[in-house]
Structure 1
Amino acid sequence: MKPYVISNVGMSLDGKLATVGGDSRISCEEDLIRVHKIREKVDGIMVGIGTVLKDNPRLTVHKIKSNKNPVRIVVDSKLRIPLNARVLNKEAKTIIATTEKADKEKLKELSKIENVEVIICGKEKVDLKKLMEELYKRGIKSILLEGGGTLNWGMFKEGLVDEVSVYIAPMIFGGKAVSYVDGEGFKTVDEAVKLELKNFYRLGEGIVLEFKVKKDE
């Protein structure tokens, strides 16, 4: 068993999450509210360590009035998370998924932080399928996947995403900036993740597309 995973992203029309200079101001205020409404409904919010290092997010529900904060999940194979990262604050529980190669002293330091749990799953790289099983055992039945591009690739490659929600801003960034899904990519169209469009609507100056991920029978 695994949690139901919703991959959400705000991107430019050419599929970028930020400019080549790292400017990621893509979502309009209406889209931020949309995302926080999804956050409020799920049991967990998951990001890769790159997102934590770049944006230092809180990963809480704060754009709308709410009494609920989901569990924050950080995939961090080399345990690079700073001990002062905002995602480790006391606003919500945080689970850090790492590997057997993780620094033992860093593990000890993290174990001292209230509401932080470290899960070891994988030797050198986090085993995402095993992580999903472990999260499900802990009562996390739904997850909002918020990137970045490397983690998104891993989740799609392993067939762990069930739904996709995309805000497309009316902008074009160009260049070799980080994309919605990075990684090595699929070599053929036959291998690609197939989606079924379920809904679309205008939001602010952009558009939201909602898909179901087609699963192999």
Structure 2
Amino acid sequence: MAASEAERTAMRRALDLAGRGPVGVNPQVGAVLLARDGTTLAEGWHRGAGTAHAEVDALSHLPHGGAAGATAVVTLEPCNHTGRTGPCALALIDAGVTRVVYALDDPVAYSHGGADRLRAAGVDVEAGVEADAARALIGPWITAARLGRPHVTVKWAQSLDGRAAADDGTSQWITGPEARADVHRRRADAGAIVVGTGTVLADDPALTARGPDGAYATQPLPVVIGARETPQDAAIRRHPRHPLFFPSHDLETVLADLHQRGVQRVFVEGGPTLASAFIAAGLADEVVAYIAPVLLGGGRLALTDIAVPTIAAARRLAVTDMQRLGDDLLVVATPIDHPRAHATLAEGA
């Protein structure tokens, strides 16, 4: 049975609730329990590893038997796994829920299958409701769950003619304050911000996330890739979080290490060499480009070699967002495919 308007409204509410949860190893999930007449019985969301999942959190607000005959609206397929908490699918069955509406299938091998378990118990299940909105919320977590590495966003700022800097190397500032504020917001949302040693030596970035009222409460983990030494007085060494230094140029190894540390989102902000390496390796899940209405000419391109020898090999992207930020244009795009190559960064980083 297709989702009703009340169920779709409840799903949008569940997505709002999910956003209250922390970004981390576990997904952000929200749940709303509806009575037969479509009114809300209870709400819940997941508050982090080791705490009740969203469905169980919502059920905890009702007396025993209070969810009998109810519909559970959940942003992610109820899990079918016993870890630090029990299977949510079983909790819903035991509570007497007769219908479950969810947005996205659980991509994790050991925890998916909740929908099948619910159906086997006679529960009516509807999947895919408001899936695009749910994917926008937890897309990075899905990438990490499926690929075993963090979701990677590659960012750069460029002139209208595709330059990242003037010929003398100066680049501050190509874009205006609105674009730079957007960058800092995205930094705050990331688990780690990654640059190459070339950027550290040339620009001495602080790699903090700063808003109009000062530093954001959450700061990305600063990561430097490259064999060259970072000076002891570099601004990055004064970052509120201890920076990580990777002398290895193997990007897949770096991402695997960050994933082991619980990093789900990586924001690559390290200049043309590093950006090009991630793209050439097929490791860019999202591209964020800020385009300023200025012409620079010269040879300092925003991207260098990305392993495209001919137009037939062009890396095609789908634009997912486009905004005007002051005088600048923001374009967000995702690769249509993910060509994989050996993810090794050239020594110049």
TM bracket, shorter-chain basis: 0.7 to 0.9
Equivalent residue number for residue 108 of structure 1? none
Partner in structure 2 of residue 157 of structure 1: 280
1:130 equivalent in structure 2: 253
SS at match of 1:174: coil
Q: Matched residue of 2:304: which SS?
A: coil
CA shift, 1:185, in A, is 4.2
Q: CA deviation at 1:94?
A: 0.7
| Structure 2 residue aligned with 1:2 | 149
2:176 match = 28
Q: Among 222, 234, 238, which residue is 1:72 paired with?
A: 222
Aligned-pair distance for 1:64?
Answer: 4.2
The match for 1:115 is none
Shift of 1:215: 2.1
Could you say which structure has the larger radius of gyration? 2
CA RMSD of aligned residues (A): 1.6
Alignment of 1:1-217 (within 5 A): 1-24=148-171, 25-65=173-213, 66-76=216-226, 78-99=227-248, 126-177=249-300, 179-183=301-305, 185-216=307-338
Give the unaligned 5+ runs of structure 2: 1-147, 340-349
Structure 1: gaps (5+ residues):
100-125
Q: Which has the higher helix share?
A: 2
Q: How many residues align?
A: 189
The answer to whether the 8 A contact 1:43-1:70 is kept is yes
Contact 2:280/2:306, CA 8 A, preserved across alignment: no
Query: Deviation string for 1:119-157 (max 9, x for gaps)?
Result: xxxxxxx11111111110111110111121111111011
Structure 1 residues 21 and 144: CA distance shift in structure 2, 3 A: same
Q: Is contact 1:36–1:64 with CA below 8 Å preserved after alignment?
A: no
When residues 149 and 216 of structure 1 are mapped into structure 2, their CA distance, relative to the original with a 3 A threshold, is closer
In the aligned structure 2, how far is the partner of 1:95 from the partner of 1:26? 28
Query: Structure 1 stretches (4+) deviating beyond 3 angstroms?
Result: none
Give the CA deviation at 1:216: 4.3
CA distance in 2, matches of 1:159, 1:97: 20
1:183 deviates by: 3.4
Aligned counterparts of 1:67 and 1:54: Cα–Cα separation in 2: 28
